[in-house]
């Protein structure tokens, strides 16, 4: 191969920083994970696989050990030491350690720090008590940085430079315009096929599709299903798709009229024809859900079916609830998820079709809506809203805890039963026992109809035929997984 293989990728948003620990957005991950690697990593199906650590084990309930590779170099030429891995964890959980108030701290919830194991190329991750989520979290978060490199720089420099161990090093970065990456010649792992990558962003769906069709870019994320046909039918272009880790739902605040009635909440679920929404709006790119947890996740309850479409049942449940004639507003964040505007409007439309309820979809900008949801004050939370939630730990608790148990910033539901279950899943380390508890919680969420359950969001990519790539569930699209076709 004489010609260098160069590709351009377009995603929805630009990275907000290049600091792997100072953000919480997938678009930023999609850039920094070219250069920074985790201690562990995930396979395409979400399974935990080795990365910078080759072995991992539970030493004690509150001590998890990782054995670190010895053949790894950072882009600046220094070699990876276990202390770098320990520093990475410290930097996230301890504001004093890395000079950073990391927004990812709660992603390592329970973790109190990390230390190098004397005399071994290994580190111990420490937690206050039993930590059933330790390996799941490390497989998803904590991307390793060089302690020396970080210590020599202030946070503003770290935000615009990168020095990781990954297969690509930063070549050129113009904030909010592009990131250019080139192959790191001394990468420890398998040499990637792609020599140079440019990552750009376009918030508009149509813009990304146009860019792909015009040959201005090689791979785009979040293709609206309407345009999938145009791409598929274009010579040398194709679609790749996979179910994501995100679900869409419409939470209802449990103590506000009329949603304080379980019957009413159930009625909302019976009212919508979810299958038709998925078929017609999403063109099948989606799967109906009936519980907060996706199949394949810890705690998924396979006995639960999505609520069927039954408007008559819905109307009679509304009558039973005593809230006939209710007027609802469904507030949705405009353009935040794949066709969520249309989905929310359609859901509102179906509810509005009931004889005894009227409903209107109201578009909100995500920032304002998120502010109302996240202030921890239930009274400012809209009583009925649409939101999406990604769970990259493949564990039900990461969805159940924030939404359905009291005291988190975003909760909208509480019941004594759920609170009891939460106490258990937070500490239970026996995997089977924990699975039971989580399944029970999912059953409860389904029966209580805490949300109007919508679909699992689908990842739809448009790809130029010169690239061969299988998409990942976790929304990452990284050049190291792409091959020249």
Partner 1 sequence: MNWQRVWRSLRAEFGRSPMAKLGVVLILAVFLMAIFAPFLATTNPKAQDLSRANEPPVGFTDTTEDTRLVDGERQTVTVTTRGTLEYPLGTNQLGQDMYSRLLYGARTSLLVGLLGTAIAALAGVSVGIVAGYYGGRVDDGLMRFADVMLAFPALVLAIALIGLLGPQPVDIPDPFVAAGLVSDMPETTVLPVTVTLVVALVNWVWFARVARGEALSVREKNYVKASRSLGASDWRLMLKHVLPNSLTPILVLATVQVAVIILLESALSFLGFSGTTLSWGFDISQGRDLLATSWWISTMPGLAIVVTVIGINLVGDWLRDALDPDIEGESGGGMG
Partner 2 sequence: MRLTRFLLRRTAQGILVVWGVITLVFLLRFITPGSTIDFVAPLDASPELRQRLAEDLGLNKPIYVQYADYIVNLLQLDMGNSLLKGRPASDVIFARLPATLELAIAATIVAILFSIPLGVISATRRHQPVDYGATGFSLIGISTPNFWLGIMLILIVGVNLGWLPTSRRIIGFGPALELLVFEGRTIGIQVWFEHILLPSITLGTYFTALITRLTRNGMLEELGQSYVEVTRAKGLPETLVKYKHVLRNTMIPIITVLGLQMGTLIGGAVITESVFNWPGLGTLIIDAINSRDWPLIQGSLIVIGVGFVVINIVVDALYMYFNPQVTFE
461 contacts which partner out of partner 1, partner 2, none, CB within 5 to 8 A by kind?
none
Residue 310, contacted partner among partner 2, partner 1, none, CB below 5-8 A by kind: none
| CA atoms of 125 and 73, how far apart (whole Å) | 22
**Least distance (Å) between residue 332 CB and partner 1:** 10
Considering only residues 29, 84, 205, 218, which one is a binding residue for partner 1 as defined by CB under 8 A?
A: 205
| Distance separating alpha carbons of residues 238 and 218, to the nearest angstrom | 11
Binder of residue 105, out of partner 2, partner 1, none (CB less than 5 to 8 A by kind): partner 2
Q: What are phi and psi of 312, to 5 degrees?
A: -65, -45
Residue 180 · residue 198 · CB < 8 Å: yes
Burial call 72-109: b when 16+ CB within 10 Å, e when fewer: bebbeeeebbbbbbbbbbbbbbbeebbebebebeebbe
483 DSSP assignment: E
**Cα–Cα distance measured from residue 373 to residue 381, given in angstroms and rounded to the nearest whole number:** 5
Whether the link from the prior residue into 258 is cis, omega within 30° of 0, is yes
239 binds, among partner 1, partner 2, none (CB under 5 to 8 A by kind): partner 1
H helix or E strand, kind and range, residue 83: helix 82-93
Out of 104, 245, 293, 345, point to the residue binding partner 1 (CB under 8 A). Answer: 345
Give the per-residue contact string, 275-314, with partner 1 (x = CB under 8 A; - = no). -xx-xxx-xxx-----------------------------
Site pattern 344..383 for partner 2 (x: CB under 8 A): ---------------------xxxx-xxx-xxx-------
Q: How far apart are CA 126 and CA 107, in angstroms?
A: 14
Residue 334 sits in the site that holds partner 1 (CB under 8 A): yes
Give yes or no for residue 364 binding partner 1 (CB under 8 A).
yes
Contact between 477 and 11 (Cβ < 8 Å): yes
- Which residue, 270 or 403, has its beta carbon nearer to partner 2? 403
Element (DSSP H or E) covering residue 332? strand 326-333
133-172 residues near partner 2, rule: CB under 8 A:
155-156, 159-160
Name the minimum Å distance from CB 256 to partner 2. Answer: 19
Which of 329, 374, 422, 327 minimizes the C-alpha distance to 109?
A: 422
Question: What residues have CB less than 8 Å from 310, skipping those under 6 apart?
Answer: 270
Query: What is the per-residue binding string for partner 2 in 173-212, x denoting contact by CB under 8 A?
Result: --xxx----------------------x-xxx-xx--xx-
Position 225 contacts partner 1 (CB under 8 A): yes
List interacting residues with partner 2 (CB under 8 A). Answer: 16-17, 19, 22, 24, 101, 103-106, 155-156, 159-160, 175-177, 200, 202-204, 206-207, 210-211, 213-214, 216, 365-368, 370-372, 374-376, 402, 408-410
List interacting residues with partner 1 (CB under 8 A). Answer: 204-206, 209-210, 224-233, 239, 241, 273, 276-277, 279-281, 283-285, 334-335, 341-342, 345-346, 349-350, 352-353, 358, 360-365, 367-368, 458
């Amino acid at each position: 191969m004489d010609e260098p293989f160069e590709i351009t990728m377009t995603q929805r948003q630009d990275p907000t920083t290049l600091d792997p620990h100072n953000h919480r957005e997938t678009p930023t991950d999609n850039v920094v994970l070219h250069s920074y690697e985790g201690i562990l990593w995930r396979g395409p199906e979400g399974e935990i696989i080795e990365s910078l650590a080759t072995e991992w084990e539970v030493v004690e309930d509150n001590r998890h050990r990782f054995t670190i590779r010895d053949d790894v170099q950072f882009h600046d030429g220094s070699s990876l030491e276990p202390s770098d891995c320990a520093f990475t964890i410290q930097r996230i959980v301890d504001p004093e350690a890395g000079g950073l108030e990391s927004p990812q701290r709660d992603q390592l919830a329970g973790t109190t720090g990390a230390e190098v194991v004397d005399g071994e190329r290994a580190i111990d991750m420490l937690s206050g008590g039993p930590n059933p989520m330790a390996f799941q979290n490390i497989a998803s978060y904590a991307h390793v940085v060089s302690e020396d490199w970080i210590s020599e720089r202030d946070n503003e420099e770290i935000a615009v430079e990168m020095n990781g161990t990954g297969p690509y090093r930063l070549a050129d970065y113009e904030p909010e315009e592009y990131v250019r990456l080139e192959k790191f010649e001394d990468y420890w792992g398998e040499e990637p096929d792609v020599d140079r990558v440019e990552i750009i962003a376009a918030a508009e769906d149509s813009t990304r599709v146009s860019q792909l069709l015009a040959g201005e870019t090689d791979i785009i994320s979040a293709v609206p299903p309407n345009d999938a046909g145009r791409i598929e039918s274009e010579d040398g272009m194709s679609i790749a798709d996979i179910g994501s880790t995100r679900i869409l739902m419409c939470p209802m605040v449990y103590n506000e009229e009329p949603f304080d009635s379980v019957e009413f909440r159930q009625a909302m679920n019976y009212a919508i024809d979810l299958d038709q929404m998925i078929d017609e709006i999403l063109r099948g790119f989606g799967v109906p859900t009936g519980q907060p947890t996706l199949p394949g996740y810890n705690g998924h309850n396979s006995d639960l079916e999505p609520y069927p479409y039954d408007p008559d049942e819905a109307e009679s449940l509304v009558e039973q609830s005593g809230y006939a004639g209710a007027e609802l507003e469904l507030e949705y964040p405009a353009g935040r998820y794949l066709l969520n505007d249309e989905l929310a409007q359609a859901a509102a439309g179906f509810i509005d079709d009931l004889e005894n309820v009227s409903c209107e979809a109201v578009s909100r900008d995500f920032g304002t809506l998120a502010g109302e949801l996240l202030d921890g004050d239930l009274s400012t939370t809209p009583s009925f809203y649409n939101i999406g939630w990604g769970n990259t730990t493949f564990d039900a608790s990461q969805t159940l805890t924030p939404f359905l148990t009291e005291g988190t910033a975003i909760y909208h539901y509480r019941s004594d039963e759920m609170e009891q279950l939460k106490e258990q899943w937070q500490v239970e380390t026996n995997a089977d026992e924990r699975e039971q508890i989580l399944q029970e919680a999912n059953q409860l969420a389904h029966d209580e109809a805490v949300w109007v359950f919508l679909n699992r969001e689908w990842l739809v990519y448009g790809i130029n035929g010169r690239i061969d790539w299988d998409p990942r569930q976790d929304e990452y699209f990284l050049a190291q997984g792409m091959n020249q076709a």
